[in-house]
């Protein structure tokens, strides 16, 4: 699950699940509104900020709704 | 603060460093001491400039309110730094407000007292000129930096906008999938071909971009390019 989130593109993630946006803001990441968000994966973004990609992905999973989790698992 | 403490402060101030002992002693003798509590101002922007200050200990933040009401931090000042003198010498109001970040102790000379010191000790006047020259040099460097930075920002922002619209993800980054010449970028950003070439070469060397003259540009470090585009 976190693996799939890690390889997702940040822009797409935020469009599909707005619940993810506060997680980026909390980490003071500039992803929300960034012109490069449609190209960078969660893993790449985590790397830029020196964050553990897996931990970030877990936080994102927790933040997005149950519906979203089902979509990713499907 | 006794005389030896005042001498110690005067000695390490840039304005007096390396001057003869009698000059330092005369300056220390003629100084008054002022203590500014944390959060208080030494003087206010727009006040008549009547005194020269040297920070003995503590720290000041030099704030300036711009004509449109924005507050900007010009610089931080610490022990040995000279405060207020440019305005006194130019005979204009203080251009900024120094606020004490911590409790700060200052040595103070009135305009007349400093003038007497300079007349009695001409090397002090030479030193003051030298310091003013240093400030000008600093400002010229800063101006050059700001001008360069603005051009870099525009070029970065333009490349990012194009990539956002038409870019595609490739293995090494985000590619702009058509030939975008240096000349195109120069025209889009209102700068010269030379500047665009120099800037792109720098970014290619840093690994931010990839792309020879004839091939498509690839943004290898998108995050870094965004930082450049948004730098203050």
List pLDDT tens digits, range B118-175: 999 999 999 999 988 988 998 888 888 778 888 999 999 999 999 998 899 999 999 9
What's the rounded Cα separation, in Å, for the pair A22 and A2?
18
Contacts of A10 (CB under 8 A, 6+ apart): A24, A31, A34, A37, A40, A41, A42, A45
In sequence order, the β-bridge partners of residue B73 are B63
Whether residues A38 and B164 touch (CB distance < 8 A) is answered with yes
One-character DSSP codes across B201-230: HHHHHTTSEE--TTS--EES-HHHHHHHHH
Which residues on chain B place their C-beta less than 8 Å from a C-beta of chain A?
160-161, 163-164, 167, 169, 173-174, 219, 222-223, 225-226, 230
For the entire predicted model, the pTM comes to: 0.58
Identify the residue with better confidence: B178 or A9: A9
Whether residues B223 and A35 touch (CB distance < 8 A) is answered with no
Tokens of B192: 């010269």
Torsion sign (Cα): A35, A36, A41, A45: negative
Rg (CA), chain B: 25
ipTM computed for the complex = 0.72
pLDDT at B201: 95
Helical residues (DSSP H) of chain A, grouped into ranges: 2-6, 10-16, 21-26, 42-48, 53-63, 66-73
List pLDDT tens digits, range B86-102: 999 999 999 999 999 99
List pLDDT tens digits, range B7-30: 999 988 989 989 999 999 999 999
């Amino acid at each position: 699950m976190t693996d799939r989130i890690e390889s997702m593109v940040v822009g797409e993630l935020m469009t599909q699940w707005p619940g993810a946006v506060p997680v980026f803001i909390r980490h003071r990441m500039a992803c929300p509104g960034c012109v490069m968000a449609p190209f960078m994966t969660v893993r790449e973004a985590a790397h830029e900020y020196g964050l553990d990609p897996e931990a970030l992905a877990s936080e994102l999973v927790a933040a997005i709704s149950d519906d979203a989790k089902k979509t990713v698992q499907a | 603060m006794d005389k030896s403490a005042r001498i110690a402060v005067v000695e390490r101030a840039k304005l007096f460093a390396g001057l003869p002992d009698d000059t330092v002693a005369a300056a220390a003798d003629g100084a008054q001491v002022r203590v500014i509590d944390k959060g208080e101002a030494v003087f206010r922007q727009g006040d008549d400039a009547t005194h020269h200050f040297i920070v003995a200990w503590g720290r000041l933040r030099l704030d300036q309110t711009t004509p449109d009401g924005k507050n900007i931090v010009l610089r931080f000042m610490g022990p040995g730094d000279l405060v207020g003198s440019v305005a006194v010498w130019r005979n204009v109001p203080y251009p900024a407000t120094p606020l004490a970040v911590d409790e700060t102790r200052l040595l103070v000379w009135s305009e007349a007292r400093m003038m007497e010191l300079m007349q009695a000790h001409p090397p002090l006047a030479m030193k003051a000129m030298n310091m003013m020259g240093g400030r000008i040099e600093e400002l010229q460097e800063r101006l050059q930096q700001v001008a360069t930075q603005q051009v870099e920002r525009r070029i970065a922002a333009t490349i990012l906008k194009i990539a956002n619209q038409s870019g595609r993800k490739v293995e090494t980054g985000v590619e702009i999938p058509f030939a975008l010449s240096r000349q195109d970028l120069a025209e889009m950003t209102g700068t010269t071909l030379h500047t665009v070439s120099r800037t792109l070469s720098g970014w290619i060397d840093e690994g931010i971009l990839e792309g020879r003259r004839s091939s498509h540009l690839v943004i290898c470090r998108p995050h870094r390019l965004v930082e450049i585009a948004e730098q203050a």
